[in-house]
Amino acid sequence: MPKRTDIHTILVLGAGPIVIGQACEFDYSGTQAIKALREEGYRVILVNSNPATIMTDPALAERTYIEPLDVPTLAEIIARERPDALLPTVGGQTALNLAMDLDKAGVLEKYQVELIGASTKAIATAEDRELFKEAMNQIGLRSAHSGIARSLSEAETLVQATGYPSIIRPSYTLGGSGGGIAYNAEDFRRIVEEGLALSPIGEVLIEESLLGWKEYELELMRDHAGNGVVVCSIENFDPMGVHTGDSITVAPAMTLSDREYQRLRDMGLAIMDAVGVATGGSNVQFAVNPANGDVVVIEMNPRVSRSSALASKATGFPIAKIAAKLAVGYTLPELPNDITRSTPASFEPALDYVVVKIPRWNFEKFPGSQPILGTAMKSVGEAMALGRTFPEALQKALRSLENGHMGWGADGVAGPPLERLRELLITPTPQRIFVIRTALELGWSVDDVHALTKIDPWFLRQLADLLKLEQRIQAESLDSLTADLLREAKRAGYSDVQLTHLLADSPSQRAVRQRRITLGVLPTYHHVDTCAAEFPAQTPYLYSSYETESEAAPTSRRKAMILGGGPNRIGQGLEFDYCCCHAVFALRELGFETIMVNCNPETVSTDYDTADRLYFEPLTLEDVLNIVDVEQPEGVVLQFGGQTPLKLAKGLEAAGVPLWGTSPEAIDRAEDRGQFGAVLAECGLRATDYGSATSWDEARSIAQRIGYPIMVRPSYVLGGQGMAIIHNEEALDAYLHAVTSTSPEHPVLLDRFLDDATELDVDAVSDGERVVIAGVMEQIERAGIHSGDSACVMPTVGISPAVEQQLHAATVKLAQALNVVGLMNVQYAVKDNTVYVLEVNPRASRSVPYVAKATGVAWAAVAAKVMAGQSLREQDISAAPDLVGYHVKEVVLPWRRFPGAKIALGPEMRSTGEAMGSGDTFGAAFAKAQIGCGRVLPTAGAAFLSVNDNDKQALLPIAQGLNELGFKLIATSGTADFLKQHGLNVETIYKVNEGRPNAADYIINGAVTLVVNTPLGQTSIFDEQAIRQTALRQNVVAITSIASAQAAVDAIRALCAGGLGVRALQDA
Amino acid sequence: MTQALLALEDGRYWWGRAVGALGERAGEVVFNTSMTGYGEILTDPSYRGQLVTLTAAHIGNYGVDLADLEDAQPWAEALIVRAFSAQPSNWRAAESLSQLLQRRNVMAVADLDTRALTRHIRAAGAMRAVLSTEDLNPESLSAKARAIPTMEGRDLASTVGTREIYTWTEGTPADWTLLQLAPEPNQALGAGAHVLVYDFGVKRNTLRRLVDLGCQVTVVPNATSAADALALNPDGVLISNGPGDPATLGYAVETLRGLFGKVPVFGICLGHQLIGQALGGTTFKLPFGHHAGNHPVCDVKTGKVRITAQNHGFALDTTSLPREVEVTEISGNDRTCEGLRHTTLPIASVQYHPEAGPGPHDGDEHFRTFVHSLRVQTARGSV
């Protein structure tokens, strides 16, 4: 059946800010869906609060609303745009939940909006655990023994039947948030209470444990004619017990016989039917008992999921695109397979390679939280690699992660402490794959390791075989290494760097590469062709191996190669992929053949139709140089992918690779404090006093000289990793003790810290002559809070026009002094009208997409063209357009995922994503940004205020404002006394450690709707943490800085006034 | 480690490591892109005379469960694989693939660039080849490949099918029946109908599915005459899959003409081609054949798609079929004929493998339809 002609306008919901469990894969799926629907001539309306996405580019949908994803906002947009249909299946759980809420609120019915892609009944059946279990029973499939509890006592009754260990899953939370495995009654009570609090409907599932069972996923597609296909099977390396988002996963399934696989396939298709999925993609998870093959259905998602993004990249089957087309009436056989172009989409991809995905974690950013993997997802990103065999793909994936490893060990990274080996095998952690290595090296048998980890012996044997190969390599030196053995090593995925560690004479990486080339051991490139070579592939989506022939077939066109950002992590996420994609679009527009290199399966950049050619490869020097050798690009673009490609700059330059844009030497000058000091002096600009220490003694003396408080950090970091504000020498010693690697190669930087300064970010683009300021952002938080964790606003609201002029002038000078070609980001602090330069990043920054959305100019594209030689003059760009209204960016923080971690903002970035709010006033924009991040500011109730002495004066107008808005004021003694002195009516209550009922009790009892609590110093940390943790659990907005509190009052005022309004990007 | 060399008749050759029996095997080199089911493929009689390239990256992973095999012995001349797992990991594994290969003296080569080989065959067509651990000279091995007979004109079906009549009573093992997903009780469907299976190289799963559906199954040699067959009083006849060139099986075409109209006839793969020929059609060689477990087949009437296992190098020319024969299914990939039905007589066939083993079960309903037609016919008393 062809597409439907009775619908014309389709509303697509995005996934909102990036959070753990819902990341940029939904930008990928949403972007695909929008493109697919536009291709069919539909008018597409998009709503997504996340400005960093490609999908919110004004060119993509007909109407783009960067607005909060909540019912009132959507009702307003629906009333305005009158869509015929709503597609809720490409925006993750957020979109699905919102669609359900819109249905419940009667909005869909009122405006006659039809849900396409998934019905409310299907969504309910898949999401509601009891309904799902019932549906599985009806088709004779077993789901885990379980029951729903709405209280601790109900849970305790249930666990008597389901037994220990017990799995606890809160209902309607994302990525298993708040769930866990309880081995005893004590753990059980704790996890259940937490889960009940986290579940929006106060409900947890108590489930039998299937720990140690094998875990599989199937990605399925179905059309309204009832045709169903399995796009991909995925086997988890980590057995049941580790959230699939935290598991190493392998495609296709490795240890299933045809009978077993076909049984899962039959079940998967039957489950889609039973749940009532009429069209689209679904994901079904199974547990299989390794002892007898018993199958238990774990869950199904009636939508495009994280796994479907992975499956799309793993197979070349564009699940989201096809899902969108099926939703508007097409059937699978009517749609073509884009890769072969000669066969239809109604087929099941055949793989002749292996795909491995490995999650990327950031536990180090959350001191206090345990780096243990369980049923709640903790990873913030992932890398995927393809190889002709599992070992090859695994090693490529491991070196894609960019965490110091260059493969499965043998890379100079220290192994785990031997005394904890057993424990670390039993308890899954991010390091477990390397712990296995150590155990096998020590002579543990595969059976021993299997007994403790329950990882399938097949995988373990593959690993053990690698160690045997390593022994043969270790017996050789670079000269004695034969081409055959070298090829065998490369086919097993060993990087040149690993070989430097393995070979007896420890040659340099360069020498290994030279020798490899001399011996003719060169990578071959192969198509991801969906059909295991049965048909010719027409789309150049490539991965490397070491086979007998390469299929790369480079063209002789003018080429530009863009290096992507690698796996997402805190500090380097979606924003950089946005920039990379824009670079691709811009360079293609200039007539270049664009070549994308990246290893992140969640991204738009790794979609096979983003660039002309896609190399799904690790972003290491070796892998990139190999591609450069094959493609011989005219220029390589590094500055859009964040720190990942920049780290390669020197190596690529040394190898003679033509790099476009700001030179690596200039980047060095900006990063090296000594050289940068000279640049500032040349420009006549001020920085705070600073020093660079290579020893403890030096650090202490520098601190003495510049005076406390100081800000310290290791050099060359992104996202402020390891940064801290230090108030005295004792704290400095403690810091240096923690950062053990202070050395001449790894200096520590010390800066005078400006208390209570306003921080500003300026993004600019320069072509070497002209410099254009793209945007000036004012951070809401004071200096000292990482800019990535601070809300910010454009235009500025708290600095004078004269200061803003100074910022412009300083930025231009810096761009010229550093010979910037492309994008540049400068961070300033302003205190008492004096401008200090904090740092310069001569590359695309995290703020580029936000500035682009606020100004309506695709600055990354402008910069890419500049780098390719088209000047700003030629592009007719002389200044950013005037801003319409206010645009606030707010961030989301993953505290809930890391129980035990200290909840406080600081110089180290911890946020995972952002939302943008736009409005006529600062307050309205701020309010929307808050809602976009899921923080619903109260418009009534009681505000609990507790601030330090420095903040008391500034608190006064805030308290007065809240008072005027009708809030009751509650405070601890010091704050209360101060406010009372100024004539405010305040109720005084106990601090947490003073007595009961205290502040936390008030929050738990629902007597507080807003918390303003600024840091009071070391002594009251316990108190603050208790208040913030309690507020977090009770979903009460807790504000931890005066600046944010002021903004919040403005926002509450706007909310009380009502009618925040909505605006499409295309309205401007 | 024992080196093995694979040389093709056109002079291309690849090195690998011997992982099965040692020696030398000659045949036609083909590929199959199924991701599971190497045991079934190895023992599928349709692979008689062929060196089978398995494109899936890892082979041997889950070992061998004898209950999964498609015949009592391996039929492929050799397996060609990229990565070979000598030790299996699966609760059902009775032995490793390595043990099976050694025990049955089947050669296999691993660490060979199967993708390059597959791409070559795809472009140049299936061709003769020799795999050896004895003659490691590419030129002399290629010359040997050129010396073996080509597949065209070879009646291999007669070499793999049974020479004796036997009855088959084994169904799908209890744990693996598709019962749980079936719309009606299986056994009742066949109700003891007697099905004769002409064995051109029948796969056990075809027989198992008939038993599952309540049929009494008698397997007969493919040279059995129509008269002899009808004397056994069948309610229906199934013409099996099998190896070799369908054009050599003139006797079978004659037999079929003697069965048409007297008893319901259903054909699979080679059986489909023979039925097509018996109805007056002709076959032609496909440019690269169908060798996979993921091929879409469209039901002409309903538009519904089945994902199917396929293994054939020839196809029926639909334009050659008489008017009373309708094409029921076509390949989603190249629009070639995948199924036919006679408009007035109970004759039907499919080009693909509804019995799976290995492969998806989407075509399984053909067994139901066939068995259902037997019941209808039986009720009427005669055709």
The DSSP line for A790-835 is: S-EEES-SSS-HHHHHHHHHHHHHHHHHTT-EEEEEEEEEEETTEE
Quick one: pLDDT at residue A1019?
Answer: 54
| Domain boundary, last residue among B87, B114, B147 | B147
| Domain boundary, last residue among B147, B169, B192 | B147
Least confident of A419-433, A796-810, B142-156: B142-156
Phi, psi of B2 (to 5 degrees): -105, 125
Q: Are residues B124 and B164 in the same domain?
A: no
Q: What is the pLDDT of residues A462-499, one digit of tens each?
A: 999 999 999 999 999 999 999 999 999 999 999 999 99
Q: What is the pLDDT of residues A673-699, one digit of tens each?
A: 789 989 999 999 999 888 888 888 888
- Which of A216, A254, A259, A354 best tests the B interface by mutation, with the highest count of B CBs <10 A? A259
On whether residue B152 sits in a domain, the answer given is: no
Quick one: pLDDT at residue B378?
Answer: 61
Q: If you measure CA to CA, which chain A residue comes closest to B65?
A: A257
Spatial distance between the Cα atoms of A863 and A858, rounded to a whole number of angstroms: 9
On whether residue B225 sits in a domain, the answer given is: yes
Has residue B382 got a pLDDT over 50? no
Q: Are residues B162 and B311 in the same domain?
A: yes
Task: Tell me the pLDDT band of B383, cut-offs 50, 70 and 90.
Answer: very low
Instruction: Supply the DSSP symbol for A898.
Output: S
Size of interface A-B (CB pairs under 8 A): 190
Quick one: pLDDT at residue A170?
Answer: 86
- Which of A220, A229, A262 best tests the B interface by mutation, with the highest count of B CBs <10 A? A262
- The mean per-residue pLDDT over the stretch A742-770 comes to 85
- The mean per-residue pLDDT over the stretch A583-601 comes to 98
Contact call for B91 and A292, based on CB within 8 A = yes
**Residue A57, C-beta contacts closer than 8 angstroms, at least 6 positions apart:** A64, A858
Would you say the C-alpha torsion A68, A1065, A788, A785 has a positive or negative sign?
negative
Name which of B195, B209, B21, B26 is nearest B97 in CA terms. B21
Global ipTM = 0.97
Contacts of A229 in chain B (CB under 8 A): 305, 307
- B35 to chain A nearest CA, in Å? 7
Q: If you measure CA to CA, which chain B residue comes closest to A291?
A: B91
Spatial distance between the Cα atoms of A1 and A223, rounded to a whole number of angstroms: 10
- The mean per-residue pLDDT over the stretch A421-433 comes to 96
Written as six digits, the tokens of B232 are 């056994």
Q: Strand (E) positions, A489-558?
A: 524-527, 541-545
| Domain boundary, last residue among B123, B147, B171 | B147
Has residue A843 got a pLDDT over 50? yes
**Residue A876, C-beta contacts closer than 8 angstroms, at least 6 positions apart:** none
Q: Are residues B172 and B237 in the same domain?
A: yes
Has residue B179 got a pLDDT over 70? no
Quick one: pLDDT at residue A694?
Answer: 84
For helices A483-491 and A457-474, angle between their N-to-C axes, nearest 10 degrees: 150
Has residue A245 got a pLDDT over 80? yes
For chain B positions 32-61, those within 8 Å of chain A (CB to CB) are: 33-37, 39-40, 55-58, 61
Has residue A506 got a pLDDT over 70? yes
Contacts of A551 in chain B (CB under 8 A): 119
- Which of B61, B69, B178, B180 best tests the A interface by mutation, with the highest count of A CBs <10 A? B61
Max intra-chain CA distance, chain A: 87
Q: Are residues B366 and B283 in the same domain?
A: yes
Q: Are residues B34 and B130 in the same domain?
A: yes
- A508 to chain B nearest CA, in Å? 29
CB A67 within 8 A of CB A39: no
Active site residue B215: no
Has residue B368 got a pLDDT over 70? yes
3-state DSSP assignment of residue A894:
coil
Half-sphere exposure of A886 (CA within 13 A, CB side): 26
For residue B358, cis peptide bond before it (omega within 30 degrees of 0): yes
On whether residue B34 sits in a domain, the answer given is: yes
Contact call for B303 and A461, based on CB within 8 A = no
- Provide the residue range defining the domain that includes B128: 3-147
CB A823 within 8 A of CB A830: no
Contact call for A350 and B68, based on CB within 8 A = no
Contacts of B115 in chain A (CB under 8 A): 352, 388, 526, 532-533, 547
CATH number at residue B334: 3.40.50.880
Least confident of A405-414, A716-725, A866-875: A716-725
Q: What is the pLDDT of residues A797-831, one digit of tens each?
A: 989 999 999 999 999 999 999 999 999 999 999 99
- The mean per-residue pLDDT over the stretch A80-94 comes to 96
In terms of C-beta density within 10 A (0-12 exposed, 13-18 middle, 19 or more buried), how is residue A790 classed?
buried
List, edge to edge, every strand of the sheet that includes A886-892. Answer: A686-687, A834-841, A821-831, A758-767, A771-782, A792-794, A886-892, A913-919
In terms of C-beta density within 10 A (0-12 exposed, 13-18 middle, 19 or more buried), how is residue A114 classed?
middle
Q: Which amino acid is at A666?
A: A
On whether residue B193 sits in a domain, the answer given is: yes
Contact call for A262 and B119, based on CB within 8 A = no
On whether residue B134 sits in a domain, the answer given is: yes
CB nearest to B90's CB, from A257, A270, A547: A257
Has residue A461 got a pLDDT over 80? yes
Has residue A61 got a pLDDT over 80? yes
Contacts of A547 in chain B (CB under 8 A): 113, 115-116
On whether residue B127 sits in a domain, the answer given is: yes
**DSSP secondary structure string for all residues of B80-100:** E-SEE-SS---TT-SB-HHHH
Q: Are residues B296 and B369 in the same domain?
A: yes
| H or E element, residue A708 | none
Quick one: pLDDT at residue B377?
Answer: 64
Q: Are residues B181 and B302 in the same domain?
A: yes
Task: Tell me the pLDDT band of A950, cut-offs 50, 70 and 90.
Answer: confident
Active site residue B269: yes
- The mean per-residue pLDDT over the stretch B257-263 comes to 96
Q: Are residues B333 and B301 in the same domain?
A: yes
Contacts of A531 in chain B (CB under 8 A): 33, 292, 294
Among the listed residues B215, B269, B298, B337, the single catalytic one is B269
Written as six digits, the tokens of A479 are 């000269």
Quick one: pLDDT at residue A886?
Answer: 96
On whether residue B262 sits in a domain, the answer given is: yes
Question: Does B300 reach chain A within 8 Å, measured CB to CB?
Answer: no
Contact call for A388 and B82, based on CB within 8 A = yes
Active site residue B365: no
Q: How many CB atoms lie within 10 A of CB A874?
A: 11
Q: Are residues B189 and B63 in the same domain?
A: no
Between CA A840 and CA A849, with CA A846 as vertex, the angle to 5 degrees is 120
CB A754 within 8 A of CB A798: no
Quick one: pLDDT at residue A1030?
Answer: 85
Written as six digits, the tokens of A463 are 């690993």
On whether residue B35 sits in a domain, the answer given is: yes
Q: Are residues B220 and B92 in the same domain?
A: no
- The mean per-residue pLDDT over the stretch B226-230 comes to 97
Percent pLDDT > 70 in chain A is: 97
Q: If you measure CA to CA, which chain A residue comes closest to B54?
A: A352
CATH number at residue B122: 3.50.30.20
Q: Are residues B225 and B108 in the same domain?
A: no
Q: From the CA atom positions of chain A, what is the Rg in Å?
A: 28
Spatial distance between the Cα atoms of A167 and A210, rounded to a whole number of angstroms: 9
Quick one: pLDDT at residue A689?
Answer: 87
Task: Tell me the pLDDT band of B182, cut-offs 50, 70 and 90.
Answer: low
Contact call for A349 and B294, based on CB within 8 A = yes
Contact call for B180 and A227, based on CB within 8 A = no
Contact call for B115 and A388, based on CB within 8 A = yes
Contact call for B34 and A258, based on CB within 8 A = yes
Contact call for B39 and A456, based on CB within 8 A = no
Q: How many domains does chain B have?
A: 2
For chain B positions 156-175, those within 8 Å of chain A (CB to CB) are: 175
Quick one: pLDDT at residue A1026?
Answer: 83
Has residue A720 got a pLDDT over 70? no
Would you say the C-alpha torsion A797, A802, A807, A811 has a positive or negative sign?
positive
Has residue A200 got a pLDDT over 80? no
Q: What is the pLDDT of residues A632-673, one digit of tens each?
A: 999 999 999 998 999 999 999 999 999 999 999 998 899 887
Q: Which amino acid is at A974?
A: G
Spatial distance between the Cα atoms of A900 and A906, rounded to a whole number of angstroms: 17
Contacts of A226 in chain B (CB under 8 A): 304
Q: Are residues B228 and B132 in the same domain?
A: no
Contacts of B311 in chain A (CB under 8 A): none
Contacts of A225 in chain B (CB under 8 A): 302-304
Percent pLDDT > 90 in chain A is: 77
Quick one: pLDDT at residue A740?
Answer: 55
Q: If you measure CA to CA, which chain A residue comes closest to B183?
A: A139
Task: Tell me the pLDDT band of A725, cut-offs 50, 70 and 90.
Answer: confident
**DSSP secondary structure string for all residues of A1021-1060:** HHHHHHHHHHHHHTT-EEE-SHHHHHHHHHHHHHHHH---
The pTM (predicted TM-score) of the whole model is: 0.95
Written as six digits, the tokens of A379 are 């990873």
- B156 to chain A nearest CA, in Å? 25
Cα torsion A623, A627, A633, A637 to 10°: value is -30
Has residue A1015 got a pLDDT over 60? yes
